């Protein structure tokens, strides 16, 4: 039944397709050894993607933790997301906080909403950060997060600075860490102690991913968060904490469960370091923060 009128692409898609492919980038890696695309400016046609995906009326979910002093990041984050994140799609922002009254009122476009969940404040900032795996997992399992086509799990100390849309859709998607691109795998800051569940041998792994963003379908997010939570628990019982907490465990998981799509550093720019020449557009950028001040309880 492949050739039925029903299965033909919409007219807009056919029109864009007649314009032919774009000239591909040749200065960056566009595909992984397991044939997953790596997304860079100039590697995709935004209009074609939107013409393909918008008719499907997807809902995109986002989890955001703003515990203790991190509530201050919510306003700039949400305001920038309303400008750049998934424009024209339905979006549910799931905000986890211990201070719900500090969730700002931000004007949202139609089809977009904020859902606030109460969460406890753990005493160590590392614990606040790594417990996200457990909390996201529980909220999907108990169905407080459901009916989203894709879920993005993001840090809150960031702002959107450019288009961030359908080109990121994938069953499981991760982002290259801007600090560890183009270096040899034996230099990646994976956890190297075999006693940790996050252990990655020197000759394993192709990329080092940043934990400030991962995404995918609910099934995949359930799996990755469950695996990381369980590994974190085992390490805790054994009295070991991986070098970069949940980021180490996420990387360990992704070594064997390779993502279907990888986002370049455009999707996580370090605003405090020079932008690499390969990054033509910063889409999502870190916000400068005083670590000592903001992490003090
Ligand atoms: N976080 C929080 N309150 C805290 C510490 C962390 O809400 O006191 C959340 C917040 O979403 C933050 C994330 O955990 O973006 C990761 O922590 P952080 O951004 O400080 O880690 P970094 O990006 O500096 O490694
Ligand atoms: Mn952060």
pLDDT in tens, 36-55: 999 999 999 999 999 999 99
Determine whether the shortest distance from the Cβ of 155 to ligand 1 is under 6 A: yes
**Predicted local distance difference test score (pLDDT) of residue 238:** 98
* Average pLDDT value over all residues in the chain: 94
Burial of 268 (0-12, 13-18, 19+ CB in 10 A): buried
Backbone angle region of 143, left / alpha / beta, with phi > 0 → left and psi within -120 to 50 → alpha: left
Of 167, 246, 247, 266, catalytic? 247
Query: What is the predicted ipTM?
Result: 0.99
Atom of ligand 1 nearest to the CA of 96: 7
pTM given for the model = 0.94
Q: Ligand 1 pocket: which of 62, 63, 64, 65 to mutate (most atoms <8 Å of CB)?
A: 65
pLDDT in tens, 140-161: 999 999 999 999 999 999 999 9
Residue found by looking up tokens 């279907």 in the block: 260
Tokens describing residue 107: 């004007």
Please tell me the distance from the alpha carbon of residue 136 to that of residue 227, in angstroms, as a whole number.
12
């Amino acid at each position: 039944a492949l050739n039925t009128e029903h299965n033909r692409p919409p007219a807009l898609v056919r029109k864009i397709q007649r314009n032919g492919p774009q000239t591909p980038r040749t200065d960056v890696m566009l595909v992984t050894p397991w044939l997953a695309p790596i997304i860079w400016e100039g590697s995709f046609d935004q209009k074609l993607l939107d013409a393909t995906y918008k008719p499907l009326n997807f809902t995109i979910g986002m989890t955001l933790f703003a515990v203790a002093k991190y509530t201050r990041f919510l306003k700039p984050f949400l305001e920038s997301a309303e400008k750049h994140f998934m424009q024209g799609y339905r979006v549910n922002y799931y905000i986890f906080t211990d201070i719900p009254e500090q969730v700002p009122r931000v004007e949202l476009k139609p089809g977009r909403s904020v859902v606030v969940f109460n969460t406890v404040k753990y005493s160590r900032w590392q614990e606040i950060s790594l417990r996200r795996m457990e909390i996201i997992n529980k909220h999907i399992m108990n169905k407080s997060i459901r009916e989203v086509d894709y879920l993005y799990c993001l840090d809150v100390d960031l702002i959107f600075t450019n288009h961030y849309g359908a080109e990121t859709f994938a069953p499981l998607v991760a982002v290259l860490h801007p600090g560890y691109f183009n270096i040899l795998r034996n230099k990646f800051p994976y956890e190297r102690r075999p006693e940790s569940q996050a252990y990655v041998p020197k000759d394993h792994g192709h990329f080092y991913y940043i934990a400030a963003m991962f995404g995918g379908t609910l099934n995949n997010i359930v799996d990755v968060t469950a695996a990381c939570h369980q590994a974190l628990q085992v390490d805790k019982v054994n009295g070991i904490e991986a070098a970069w907490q949940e980021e180490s465990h996420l990387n360990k998981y992704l070594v064997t469960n390779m993502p279907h799509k990888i986002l370049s550093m455009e999707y996580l720019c370090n605003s405090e370091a020079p932008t690499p020449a390969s990054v033509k557009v910063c889409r999502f950028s870190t916000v400068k923060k005083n670590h000592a001040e903001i992490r003090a309880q």
